[in-house]
């Protein structure tokens, strides 16, 4: 089991960048009280602290975020109740991405859809355990299409080229987490990032310009990660999303979310780019009201 990470910063600094009205954080997790939502016995890691929805909402107020997408946290396994509880607190402004088995029947997908979930995530990261084979995931995709859901893929940079042919065949949108988890120290000409750019040529593939602190090999402010986010937003501005990844699982040093928010200005230097990244794109993919 992975080692616990340090606790998140309870009060991030106020970003220097003012986010536009309707700004959306499309990637964060919740670690709710164990008394209500116990972790799965076979979890891949144990969170070091509670990170409840109330703390998340406070962090969003500090950053100027008005909408959000909670991503089911691996310690809960396939029990999405804690994420559903967060969405229920603010159903107009929050959506969810579930963790599920690829064999999940349509009736269960419809139940989760009614709770505010709009996609399902699959891991291809060694530290999170073996996931469903990609062929099984693609077999699930027609059921996702029935309810307007998308696939979210969390994979190691070294696996992008391997999974690309299958992901290109997906009949539903595919969202790639954390800029493909590439190694930023190798530069934007690296094989891993070039494989991600090739995958992004498929018009149904999206990418999250999140996880600068994960792909960087430098300390804050993670300058080596900036060219990757900038490249994705510049070339695929209508299919990029941003997220904090709060409360930052499995990191040796937990970042300040205010500092992460300020990177948006470098990924998307124009107001038009930020409007797409933070407002229009999440509204389109997750079904927020205009």
Q: Which residues does the annotation mark as catalytic?
A: 245
Q: Tokens 């995530």, residue?
A: 121
Q: Confirm if 166 and 138 have CB atoms less than 8 A apart.
A: yes
End-to-end CA, the chain? 43
CA distance 173 to 181: 19
CA distance 142 to 5: 37
Compute the Cα dihedral for 220, 221, 227, 228 and give only its sign.
positive
Helices (H), the chain: 53-63, 81-89, 106-115, 134-147, 160-168, 191-200, 212-215, 226-235, 257-262, 264-267, 271-275, 281-286
Closest by CA to 280, choosing from 206, 211, 228, is 206
- CA-CA distances (angstroms) from residue 233 to 26, 273, 278? 15, 7, 11
- CA-CA distances (angstroms) from residue 94 to 84, 107, 144, 266? 10, 22, 20, 26
Cα torsion 132, 134, 137, 139 to 10°: value is -120
């Amino acid at each position: 089991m992975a080692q616990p990470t340090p606790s998140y910063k309870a009060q991030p600094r106020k970003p220097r960048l003012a986010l536009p009205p309707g700004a959306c954080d499309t990637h964060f997790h919740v670690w709710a009280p164990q008394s209500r939502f116990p972790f799965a016995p076979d979890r891949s890691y144990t969170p070091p602290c509670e990170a409840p929805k109330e703390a998340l909402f406070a962090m969003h107020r500090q950053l100027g975020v008005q909408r959000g997408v909670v991503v089911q946290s691996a310690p809960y396994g396939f029990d999405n109740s804690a994420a559903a509880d967060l969405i229920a607190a603010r159903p107009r402004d929050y959506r969810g991405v579930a963790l599920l088995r690829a064999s999940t029947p349509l009736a269960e997908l419809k139940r989760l859809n009614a709770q505010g979930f709009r996609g399902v995530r699959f891991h291809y990261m060694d530290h999170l355990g073996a996931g469903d084979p990609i062929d099984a995931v693609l077999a699930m995709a027609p059921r996702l299409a029935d309810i307007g859901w998308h696939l979210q893929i969390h994979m190691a940079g070294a696996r992008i080229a391997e999974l690309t042919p299958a992901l290109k065949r997906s009949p539903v949108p595919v969202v790639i987490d954390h800029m493909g988890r590439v190694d930023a120290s190798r530069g934007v000409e690296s094989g891993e990032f070039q494989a991600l750019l090739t995958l992004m040529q498929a018009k149904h593939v999206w990418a999250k310009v999140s996880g600068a602190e994960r792909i960087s090999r430098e300390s804050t402010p993670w300058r080596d990660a900036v060219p990757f986010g900038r490249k994705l937003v510049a070339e695929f501005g209508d299919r990029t999303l941003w997220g904090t990844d709060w409360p930052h699982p499995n990191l040796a040093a937990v970042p300040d979310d205010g500092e992460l928010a300020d990177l948006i200005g470098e990924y998307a230097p124009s107001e038009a780019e930020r409007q797409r990244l933070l407002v229009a794109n999440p509204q389109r993919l997750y079904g927020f009201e205009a």
